[in-house]
Structure 1
Amino acid sequence: MCGVTGWVSYERDLMKERHILLDMTETMTARGPDAGGVWTRGPAGLGHRRLAVIDLDGGVQPMTAATPSGEVVITYSGEAYNFEELRGRLRERGHPFLTRSDTEVVLRAYLEWGEAVVDHLTGMYAFAIWDSRSRSLLLARDRMGIKPLYYARTRDGVVFGSEPKAILANPLISRKVGPDGLREIFAVVSTPGAAVWEDIRELPAGHLAVLTPDGLRERRYWEITAAGHTDDLATTVDTVRDMLTGIVRDQLVSDVPRCSLLSGGLDSSLVTALATALLDTPVSSFEVDFADQERNFRPDHMRGTPDSPYARIVADHVGTDHSSIVLDPADLLAEEVRVAAVRARDVPVGWGELDSSLYLLFRGVRARSTVALSGESADEVFGGYGWFHDPGMVATPMFPWLLVTGDHALGSMLRPDVEAKVDVTGFRADSYSDAMTRTPVLPGESAVERRMRQILHVCLTRWLRVMLDRKDRMSMATGLEVRVPFCDHRLVQYAYNIPWSMKTFDGMEKSVLRAAARDLLPDSVLQRRKSPYPSTQNVSYCAEIQRRAGEILADRHSPVGALVDARKLSHLLTMDVEKLPLVPRAALERVIDLEIWFRLYKPEVSW
């Protein structure tokens, strides 16, 4: 895993702008703490920061391939899990290899197939290839959008990077955030391609872009499709189990220490159990916990049980070397931690402690491992969230996560004049309508099956993007590579077409997945209801969030006041901390994140 960046300017000699490329590359150091490099020739410059995972000595980037007609250069982030198979095929076609890295395989695959290289890759990746023969740049992102990639058009080319911060380091790119950007911040709808910053676009999942002297074209090369499902229940369960076993086997390939993230839920427990069965040595597993949380845990509508007891049950059952990263309020409230989380995100998403605790978990894991396997995305793929199983939520024409988290209320934080121009409510409605029209369905499906397809698809294409971006930003900020077996596009495509009635055949969420894990996990874990990522219930943490947000809202010189109406949040500042739910607390967390964002990025905000 790494950080990539670069610049193509057809009217410049970028050898003279190398210092700018170095600055852009430096912003990616956290993503690639092991090495860095910059390549420039004429109108093109590529930068790379490396997190060494495969072929520690041979995978140096940017990597070049000489051809009779000129150099072809790649800067690459991610893992192509089928790289060994591809290397064999390419050798048969006459390609030489100097390293054991998957980067060289992707580069050689481009030489063989051009932009169709993406059709041959299985994995998570974001890369750029400069082809001096055609003076063209290829930008590509994996099918599910696991790895991020952004770009900004300039008058004579493009600037790109794994994160917006790399692009913003180029003086050609402004720090403007207009109405569309504010809508993305406060609406929580994750429009494909949107990047908050006015001049920057995110390359959507399953897309590539090609820049030539004649301009830039962007195209989709993969998407989820609807197809008939002819397998019976037993075959479906066995297929899911076999697919997951093969996926986890592929994702265990690494030349550095690897581990699993184990919460004690079905998804992470199954990944951990499969990894343990495939390896000869015990797997290291990690969970996040909060001081005294297990002893003082209070069930609520989102979390019925604490994670730690179940994580220990699984660790004992499958035999992992288990560790708990225990956090106290001081850890979560540390200024450097919250600043690191906002800087990693580039925008003030307002997840506060949920981001800070994940960052601290990943930092603790990174002290012992470089690669971690996660159960992320199983809920989107197999229908695990509560909203899939609530008829009222299913029927409501709104993004379902907004109904659960209360994020639909966050737009009311805005000052009336800002809200009138930004129109978060109308934006959400339009975004939802657009998302529904993009759902692939089958002719003749029942109304129930069609509606569940719509909910699944919107979660896979909108909500999953939010979750994957959070995972990527927090993990890469600590130099940890997190792999997500449930995001393998082959599994996603297969699971999407399993009928909803089969997905819920036992009356619980993720029935097929539970059946696939039946001989690997104890009953207590198999029967455990879905529990989201944990959140601290410590009242001292809540009290400090109230205090900090109150200071910001009371500061007449704070730029936050240009967006947020303090009067609308005043009741949250005096609410009993023991009765301050997570959703209202998120509004205060966002106030704090906004203040840090203004301080770090100095955005030019307009509406």
Structure 2
Amino acid sequence: MCGIAGWVSFDEDPRRQVPVIERMTASLALRGPDASGVWCGPYAALGHRRLAVLDLEGGVQPMTAGPEGAEVVLSYSGEVYNHDELRTELRRRGHDFRTRSDTEVVLRAYQEWGDALTERLEGMYAFAIWDSERQRLLLVRDRLGVKPLHWARTPGGLVFGSEPKALFAHPAVRPRVDADGLRAAYSLLFSTGPTLWSGVREVEPGGITVLDRGGVTERRYWLLEARPHTDGPEETVEEVRRRLDRAARAQLAADVPRCTLLSGGLDSTVLTALLADELRLREGPEARLRSYAVDYSDQAERFTGDVLRTGHDTPYATEAGAFIGTDHSTVVLDPRALLDPEHRAAVVAARDSPIGVGDMDTSLYLLFGEIARHSTVALSGEAADEVFGGYPWFHSPRALAADTFPWLLVTGDEAAMPLHPDLADTLAIGAFQRDTYRDALAAVPHLDGESPVQHRQREMQHLSLTRWLRQLLHRKDRLSMAQGLEVRVPYCDHRLVEYAFSTPWELQSSDGREKSLLRAVGTGLAPHSVLHRAKNHYPATHHPDYNSGLQDMARDALGAHGGTVRDLVDERAVKPCLDTDPAQLEWGDRLRLERVVDLALWLGHHRPELVL
């Protein structure tokens, strides 16, 4: 896992501006604390920051192949899990290898198959290939968009980077935000392509962006499809088990210490059990996989349920760890530590965005920092809810009947930020959400003859996988990489996603509740209490001292640092949240305050030019 950056210009020679690529690369130092490198040629400059995971001695980047003047140059981030199989095939085709790294496999695969290499890669990745002979830049992103990749046009070409901050280190790209950017951010629709930042785009998940002398082209090499499903109930469960097991086994490979994120929910427990079994097969019956959970020092005494949380995680995580036989640890955080200004600022800087979830972001960042002291790779149960229909909106008559994105019933734009009335009129977020929803539904693939129930559930699953999941993957990538930790997500294996998406809803909900298929797979892998536990979201603190401190931070954001903040925020809507007894502050009101604080931090860190 790493950070990549670079630029191509057909109007100037990057070799005369080496400090530019060095600054761009240095901006991603947290993503790659182990090594740094740059390559410069007549029209292109590529940079790389490395977090060494495979072939620690080899795999140095940017990596080149071919004769001088006609090099193919690669800067690569991520993991290709089938690199051993591809290396074997490429050797049969005459390629020699200098390293054991998956990086070199990607480079040789491009030499052999060109852009068609994307059809053969399995994993999470974002990479750039400069083909010197063809004077052509290729940007590629994995199918589900686990790893980020941003780019922007310049007068003479294009700049790119894992994160927008790398682009802003280039003199041709300024941190500028217009109404379209704020509309995209605060509408909570989680599109890809255009971003919050004016002129900055993401390579689409499953997408390719190409720059040559003819200009820029974008296309998709993978889209989620609906396919006929012919397996019966038992065959379906067995096939899901086979695909998940294959993904878990492949993603355990690393030359550094590994662990899992074990919350005590169904998703992480089933995954951890499969990984622990595989580790014992590889290293012997005494091998123990590390697992981690997060908790707050007051949670056992103060937990209160809300719209997203049904119970205290720690007892379930501890039981699951004992049942599976992991070396389990609970990272216990003091709720007051979540108010530390340095922690909050680090989180906002990592995100490059004012949109987050407050204390849940800060606690995840601190959890990752603690894990990174012992492990370099962590495996997570992210995406199981999207793949297997785990969210309440898959089962709520109100959500199924609603003519909008289902998560907006829980987290609408007024919760994202009570916008200043003048700005709210300009952004017209409600109309934007309605128009975007219609476009999103039009992109959902269907099969002829679907029942109304199947038709609607297909829409819900597609919206969840192609939109809601994107912000969760963004959150996990940014906060983990800011701590030098690689997080892998086996439930995002595209073969598993494709199979589950095409499985009829009656099999997805065969026991009358969420995640029927995964629960069937988990029989024998998880304790009964976890297997039948209700869906629970990432924990939040309930300590009134945190609420009180947050209110103080929001007052400061609107006061001493609030000139621009007050231009964007409806203070009348925020004031009741500031005046509420901290012990009575509800989750939605607290989220409003979190967003005010993060907005002020974001403005202070990036100092964006606002064009509204």
Q: Is the 8 A contact 1:411 1:419 kept in 2?
A: no
- Residue 515 of structure 1 aligns with an amino acid whose one-letter code is A
Match of 1:460 in 2: 465
Match of 1:179 in 2: 179
Higher mean alpha-carbon deviation, 428-437 vs 261-270, is at: 428-437
Match of 1:334 among 340, 347, 367: 340
Match of 1:400 in 2: 406
Higher mean alpha-carbon deviation, 102-111 vs 166-175, is at: 166-175
Match of 1:348 in 2: 354
Structure 2 gap segments, 5+ residues each: 281-286
- Residue 102 of structure 1 aligns with an amino acid whose one-letter code is D
- Residue 409 of structure 1 aligns with an amino acid whose one-letter code is E
Match of 1:93 in 2: 93
Change in Cα spacing, 1:89 to 1:69, as seen in structure 2 (3 Å) is farther
Change in Cα spacing, 1:507 to 1:156, as seen in structure 2 (3 Å) is same
Match of 2:325 in 1: 319
Q: Is the 8 A contact 1:34 1:51 kept in 2?
A: yes
Match of 1:119 in 2: 119
- Write the distance in 2 (CA, Å) between the matches of 1:411 and 1:30: 28
Match of 2:133 in 1: 133
Q: Is the 8 A contact 2:34 2:49 kept in 1?
A: yes
1:69 is displaced (CA, Å) by: 7.0
SS for the counterpart of 1:223 is coil
How many residues were matched structurally?
606
SS for the counterpart of 1:45 is strand
Match of 1:365 in 2: 371
1:67 is displaced (CA, Å) by: 4.2
- Write the distance in 2 (CA, Å) between the matches of 1:67 and 1:247: 37
Higher mean alpha-carbon deviation, 177-186 vs 75-84, is at: 177-186
- Structural mapping, 1:218-229, within 5 Å: 218-229=218-229
1:430 is displaced (CA, Å) by: 1.1
Match of 2:547 in 1: 542
- Residue 299 of structure 1 aligns with an amino acid whose one-letter code is G
- Write the distance in 2 (CA, Å) between the matches of 1:411 and 1:543: 20
CA displacement, residues 529-575 of structure 1 (integer Å, 9 cap, x when unaligned): 00001111111101111111122223485311111121121111111
1:304 is displaced (CA, Å) by: 1.4
Q: Is the 8 A contact 2:64 2:74 kept in 1?
A: yes
Match of 1:511 among 490, 513, 516: 516
- Structural mapping, 1:221-300, within 5 Å: 221-280=221-280, 281-300=287-306
- Write the distance in 2 (CA, Å) between the matches of 1:412 and 1:362: 27
SS for the counterpart of 2:71 is strand
Match of 1:49 in 2: 49
Q: Is 1:214 the equivalent of 2:220?
A: no
- Structural mapping, 1:148-159, within 5 Å: 148-159=148-159
1:299 is displaced (CA, Å) by: 2.3
Match of 2:607 among 598, 602, 606: 602
Match of 1:305 in 2: 311
CA displacement, residues 448-486 of structure 1 (integer Å, 9 cap, x when unaligned): 100000010011001000100001000000000000000
Match of 2:583 in 1: 578
Q: Is the 8 A contact 1:341 1:474 kept in 2?
A: yes
- Write the distance in 2 (CA, Å) between the matches of 1:270 and 1:284: 15
Q: Is 1:6 the equivalent of 2:11?
A: no
- Write the distance in 2 (CA, Å) between the matches of 1:49 and 1:387: 40
- Write the distance in 2 (CA, Å) between the matches of 1:499 and 1:104: 40
Q: Is 1:533 the equivalent of 2:538?
A: yes
- Write the distance in 2 (CA, Å) between the matches of 1:46 and 1:412: 38
SS for the counterpart of 2:525 is coil
Large movers: runs of 4+ above 3 Å: 554-557
- Residue 139 of structure 1 aligns with an amino acid whose one-letter code is L
- Write the distance in 2 (CA, Å) between the matches of 1:301 and 1:605: 35
Q: Is the 8 A contact 1:7 1:159 kept in 2?
A: yes
SS for the counterpart of 1:413 is coil
Q: Is the 8 A contact 1:259 1:283 kept in 2?
A: yes
1:185 is displaced (CA, Å) by: 2.0
- Residue 495 of structure 1 aligns with an amino acid whose one-letter code is A
- Write the distance in 2 (CA, Å) between the matches of 1:557 and 1:288: 33
Q: Is the 8 A contact 2:175 2:608 kept in 1?
A: yes
- Structural mapping, 1:31-110, within 5 Å: 31-67=31-67, 70-110=70-110
Q: Is the 8 A contact 1:411 1:424 kept in 2?
A: no
CA displacement, residues 108-164 of structure 1 (integer Å, 9 cap, x when unaligned): 000000011111100000000000010100000000000000000111110000000
Change in Cα spacing, 1:159 to 1:569, as seen in structure 2 (3 Å) is same
- Residue 127 of structure 2 aligns with an amino acid whose one-letter code is F
Match of 2:506 in 1: 501
- Write the distance in 1 (CA, Å) between the matches of 2:203 and 2:459: 23
- Write the distance in 1 (CA, Å) between the matches of 2:266 and 2:82: 27
1:329 is displaced (CA, Å) by: 2.1
SS for the counterpart of 1:398 is coil
Q: Is the 8 A contact 2:416 2:591 kept in 1?
A: no
CA displacement, residues 342-385 of structure 1 (integer Å, 9 cap, x when unaligned): 00000101311111011001101000000001000000011101
Match of 2:423 among 418, 422, 431: 418
Change in Cα spacing, 1:600 to 1:68, as seen in structure 2 (3 Å) is closer
SS for the counterpart of 2:137 is strand
Change in Cα spacing, 1:96 to 1:187, as seen in structure 2 (3 Å) is same
- Write the distance in 1 (CA, Å) between the matches of 2:385 and 2:524: 21
- Write the distance in 2 (CA, Å) between the matches of 1:197 and 1:191: 13
Instruction: Name the Cα RMSD after superposition.
Output: 1.1
Structure 1 gap segments, 5+ residues each: none
1:412 is displaced (CA, Å) by: 6.2
TM-score, normalised relative to structure 2: 0.98
Match of 1:591 in 2: 596
Change in Cα spacing, 1:253 to 1:245, as seen in structure 2 (3 Å) is same
Q: Is the 8 A contact 2:291 2:327 kept in 1?
A: yes
SS for the counterpart of 2:354 is coil
Match of 2:436 among 431, 439, 442: 431
- Residue 196 of structure 1 aligns with an amino acid whose one-letter code is L
Q: Is the 8 A contact 1:186 1:410 kept in 2?
A: no
- Write the distance in 2 (CA, Å) between the matches of 1:69 and 1:29: 29
- Write the distance in 2 (CA, Å) between the matches of 1:149 and 1:412: 27
- Write the distance in 2 (CA, Å) between the matches of 1:198 and 1:84: 41
- Structural mapping, 1:163-174, within 5 Å: 163-174=163-174
Higher mean alpha-carbon deviation, 579-588 vs 39-48, is at: 579-588
Match of 2:493 among 471, 475, 488: 488
1:274 is displaced (CA, Å) by: 0.4
CA displacement, residues 54-102 of structure 1 (integer Å, 9 cap, x when unaligned): 0000010000001487111000000000000000000000000000000
- Residue 445 of structure 2 aligns with an amino acid whose one-letter code is P
